[in-house]
Amino acid sequence: MPSLKSSDEALFDRRLRNGKPVAKPRSIKRFAKTKIGKGDGADLPTVDMRSMLGRRFREVAIALIGDAGGLDRISAAKLSLIRRFAGATALAEQIEARAVEGQQVDITEYSLLTSSLVRIARIIGTSRIPREIVPSLDQYLAAIKSQEQEQAENAEVVEIEQNAVEASE
């Protein structure tokens, strides 16, 4: 009958190669994320997001992420396109503001930016994707249990009322 070994011994036995122990494998670390990979997807690490352009970028990015169903429901590629769209939108609005103020603007740059926005919008989509609000299994079971308790309490109240009516007759 095989002897039971501790988990450490069992792991050591699996690390034998040609009857000789091999070096203990290094622990696998999660790759560190860059500042851009953390958070809500609407921040740029090297930009002061308090500036007008930074705030507008953030507003557009958050709105588009919401329209796409939320950060947890979009792919990294779509998030990247949303960021490009938000940046291009902020730049286009900046060019439009200069034009309205009477400053000279490069119409070629504005046209290219606008047509890029149209292409990106076609890829990321322009319709809103509603989030499914489905209760978790625990919430569903708790709701069923509470309904059953309410029904049992209501049945007790009805029974008490019936007994009171019968007693008064």
Q: Dump pLDDT digits (tens) for 104-155.
A: 999 999 999 999 999 999 999 888 777 667 778 888 899 899 999 888 888 8
Same domain, 161 and 110: no
Q: Indicate if 114 and 48 belong to the same structural domain.
A: yes
At 20 the three-state DSSP class reads strand
Do residues 94 and 71 share a domain?
Answer: yes
pLDDT at site 7: 46
Assess if residue 93 is contained within a domain. yes
| SS3 label, residue 150 | helix
pLDDT at 24 over 70: no
Is the residue at 169 inside a domain?
A: yes
CA dihedral over 118, 122, 123, 126, signed as positive or negative: positive
| 65 in Cβ contact with 42 (< 8 Å) | yes
Mean pLDDT in the chain?
78
105 and 141 share one domain: no
**Which pLDDT score, from 0 to 100, does residue 168 have?**
74
Q: Are residues 48 and 118 in the same domain?
A: yes
Q: Are residues 93 and 60 in the same domain?
A: yes
Q: Is residue 1 part of a domain?
A: no
Domain span holding position 143: 134-169
Q: Are residues 169 and 115 in the same domain?
A: no
CA of 79: how far to CAs of 43, 104, 130, in Å?
Answer: 12, 33, 17
Residues of the chain with pLDDT > 90, as a percent, come to 34
Q: What is the mean pLDDT of residues 66-84?
A: 89
Task: Tell the residue number behind the tokens 């499914």, with chain if given.
Answer: 132
The answer as to whether 151 is a domain residue is yes
Higher pLDDT, 8 or 40: 40
pLDDT over 90 at 96, yes or no:
yes
Q: Which among 31, 18, 28, 60 is positioned nearest to 43, based on CA atoms? A: 60
Predicted local distance difference test score (pLDDT) of residue 81 = 94
pLDDT at 101: 95
- pLDDT of 11 reads 45
Residue 3 forms part of a structural domain? no
Do residue 39 and residue 114 come from a single domain? Answer: yes
pTM listed for this prediction: 0.54
* pLDDT confidence bin for 160, thresholds 50/70/90: confident
* Residue 163: pLDDT over 70: yes
Instruction: Tell me what pLDDT residue 12 has.
Output: 45
